[in-house]
Amino acid sequence: MKRINRIACMLLLALLPVGHTLAQQSDNSFLHTVEKGQSLYSIASMYGVTVQDIVQLNPGSDQKIVAGGTLRIPRKAGSAAQGGETFHTIAAGETLYRLTVKYGITAQQICAANPGLSASNFRIGQVIRIPAAEESTVAATGQNPGAAQAGHAGEGAATPTGAAVTPSQAQGQQAQDKQPGKQAQSQQAGKQGVESRCREMHRVKKKETVFSISRQYGITEAQLIAANPELQGGAKLKKGALLCVPYATPSETQRPTEIPTDNQLFTQSAKPDKQYKVIRAALLLPFLDVPQTESSRMVEYYEGFLLAMDSLKRQGVNIDLYTYNTGDEKQSIQPLLAREELKQMDIIFGPRHQEHIAPLAGFCKKHDIRLVIPFTSKDNAVFSNPMIYQINTPQSYLYSEVYDHFLRQFAKMDIVFIEAQEGSKEKADFIKGLREELTAKGIATRSVSDEADAAQLSQYLSNDRETLFVPTSGSNLTLIKVLPQLVLTARDHPEQRIHLFGYPEWQTFTKDHLDAFFQLDTYFYSSFYTNNLLPAAIHFTSSYRRWYAKEMDDRYPKYGMLGFDTGYFFLKGMSRYGSRFEEQMNQLGLIPIQTGFKFTRVNNWGGFINRKVFFVHFTRDYELVKLDFD
């Protein structure tokens, strides 16, 4: 008896994971696994819901979310049942083929809606986007719905594995229909179809599934779902519900002799390789009708971009450049987007103003054009548009990278936060997150006021450990207040190893505090930095001066260098890798003058963000070192 009980318990435990997996996905929600750098805002942007929608399903998530944790994401009301887009979390045992059957779409359509999906990352917990019915039609046939209706009804009809009926096959079928006796059969079948599209009605029993019912009647799951639209999107069967069981024809019940593997389907669904003989690029920036300070920076970006083009043309890369003025944020860019030549671009750089991102991003997505956004980091279009490359890293992703590098560099030091009385609000999120990361790693921290003098600061030094001071503000006022006292502390205790950690904006104050930075062995993080003593920087500055007979604006980042780095990286990559650029771009091995690049896709259906972060180190030996952790 005990043995039987043990066996029963083991069977029950074995079934639990399956039940748990099924519970993660329902008619009303699906499961999202939090990744490093994600915030509630970025997650909500991915799925087209609000932060409050997520918090309602996940109480306490507005206080903290943790990488590796899970969140329930609400489905848009009626999205799947009405043929709209929905999302699916891959469960144990699912394959790409099974999903094509489940949702009645082709592998090609799933891959087109999820350009980041591949056989290597098709795994449990991954969320994929299931496209809307209209979007699926366009992906399958290459036509919009109106164009598809204008042709033959059977032309280009998609099958679950991604194959399509070709025009020649459709014509062959029409020829067969015209044979004696065949036409009468077709007319009779059509008559029966008008009378009833259901051969019978099935009442759902307990534990029945779409799969089991379709097998019972010798039809496919896709056919059963097509006859019962309320089942679309993986809707749950309800006991006692009536389902229409459609008539099965020989062509409909035909199934592949061998179920294709994920590798086979991904290979079949891949876009053909394309090389660029001439790269068509466009800049959409506010050169005119804006304040002079803004206009001059846009011109400087353009000038740096031209230097990149000149360098690439010397290497045999052919580029056609189109330049457009977008005006200020109040001007509409729709007249520009209506220009025929813009639809033929391979890549577009811009815009400057956030108000122009949505229309330009939509345009690029529609026409399959890469869009590089060099300036803002606050727009959320990248989370749902696969054509976007965002140069400036969104804050939560940037901080996540900094925390990782911080722990790698300073985990064995005593961490002392210098609490700034003014100007600390702009770094509140960064400091809060850093403290949480340190606490999670069991690293104790202490705090001291920015009013403390050298004698008070010396009390925070340790005899056996190095000390790192971290001001909670990046303002110059804070630096002016704390640097003299820190320098005195370091001079009074030469046997101690004192360090200072700070922020990207400190580049602007380097001239004022250079000697103090060296004495305090200072570090700061940044996504952009130029050592003007390096040969590449010297050569670029010399070329810029020679070409334009002027100096670059003395602000950071320098837009001339930004124009060069972005232009050179993308145009060089596209010329080398063609349509495989996305797969290979992080292997380019280029050394930028100012802006580094490490792109990752934000999800399977979204665009790319740049996660490159440097630490700049002013050593006590009066050397300037850029620490690259990748």
CATH number at 317 reads 3.40.50.2300
Q: How far apart are CA 417 and CA 178, in angstroms?
A: 85
Output 182 or 326, whichever has higher pLDDT. Answer: 326
Render pLDDT for 568-578 as a digit per residue (tens, 0 to 9): 999 999 999 99
In a domain, 455, yes or no: yes
Q: State which of 269, 295, 318 marks the end of a domain.
A: 269
pLDDT band at residue 138, thresholds of 50, 70 and 90?
low
Would you state the pLDDT for residue 432? 95
pLDDT band at residue 440, thresholds of 50, 70 and 90?
very high
Tokens 């006859």 belong to residue: 227
605 and 496 fall within a common domain: no
Assigned token pair, 388: 């976007």
Assigned token pair, 586: 């992080």
The CB density around residue 602, as the number of other CB atoms within 10 Å, is 26
CB-count exposure of residue 567 (10 Å: 0-12, 13-18, 19+)? buried
Assigned token pair, 560: 């001339």
In a domain, 628, yes or no: no
pLDDT beyond 80 at 18: no
Would you state the pLDDT for residue 60? 95
> SS3 helix, strand, coil % of the chain, rounded to 5?
45, 15, 40
pLDDT band at residue 256, thresholds of 50, 70 and 90?
low
In a domain, 93, yes or no: yes
Would you state the pLDDT for residue 210? 81
Helix (H, G, I), strand (E, B) or coil at 447: strand
In a domain, 587, yes or no: yes
335 and 192 fall within a common domain: no
pLDDT band at residue 19, thresholds of 50, 70 and 90?
very low
Render pLDDT for 462-472 as a digit per residue (tens, 0 to 9): 888 999 999 99
Please state whether the predicted TM-score (pTM) of the whole model is above 0.85.
no
Render pLDDT for 56-73 as a digit per residue (tens, 0 to 9): 999 999 999 999 999 999
402 and 389 fall within a common domain: no
By DSSP bridging, strand 70-74 and strand 388-390 are: unpaired
556 and 514 fall within a common domain: no
180 and 80 fall within a common domain: yes
In a domain, 49, yes or no: no
299 and 255 fall within a common domain: no
Q: What is the DSSP string of 208-240?
A: --HHHHHHHTT--HHHHHHH-GGGTTTPPP-TT
Number of domains in the chain: 3
pLDDT band at residue 534, thresholds of 50, 70 and 90?
confident
Q: How far apart are CA 132 and CA 76, in angstroms?
A: 12
294 and 182 fall within a common domain: no
pLDDT beyond 70 at 25: no
438 and 292 fall within a common domain: no
Render pLDDT for 104-125 as a digit per residue (tens, 0 to 9): 888 999 999 999 999 999 999 9
CB 77 within 8 A of CB 348: no
119 and 209 fall within a common domain: yes
431 and 327 fall within a common domain: no
Q: State which of 222, 251, 269 marks the end of a domain.
A: 269
CA distances from 273 to 113, 262, 276 (A): 18, 20, 10
340 and 203 fall within a common domain: no
CB 281 within 8 A of CB 323: no
The alpha carbon torsion through 356, 361, 362, 367 (nearest 10 deg) reads 130
Q: What are phi and psi of 160, to 5 degrees?
A: -55, -30
Would you state the pLDDT for residue 362? 97
Would you state the pLDDT for residue 135? 63
Give percent of the chain with pLDDT exceeding 70: 83
- Which range of residues forms the domain containing residue 576? 279-393+532-612
Residue among 593, 594, 524 at smallest CA distance from 556:
594
Return mean pLDDT, the chain: 85
136 and 237 fall within a common domain: yes
Residue among 13, 33, 14 at smallest CA distance from 91:
33
CA distances from 33 to 74, 121, 124, 162, 480 (A): 14, 14, 10, 29, 44
What value, to the nearest 5°, has the Cα angle with vertex 505 and ends 502 and 510?
A: 85
pLDDT band at residue 252, thresholds of 50, 70 and 90?
very low
Give percent of the chain with pLDDT exceeding 90: 67
In a domain, 64, yes or no: no
In a domain, 553, yes or no: yes
CB 509 within 8 A of CB 476: yes
Would you state the pLDDT for residue 137? 52
Render pLDDT for 359-409 as a digit per residue (tens, 0 to 9): 999 999 999 999 999 998 888 999 999 999 999 999 999 999 999 999 999
Output 42 or 16, whichever has higher pLDDT. Answer: 42
In a domain, 17, yes or no: no
Render pLDDT for 492-523 as a digit per residue (tens, 0 to 9): 999 999 999 999 999 989 989 999 999 999 99
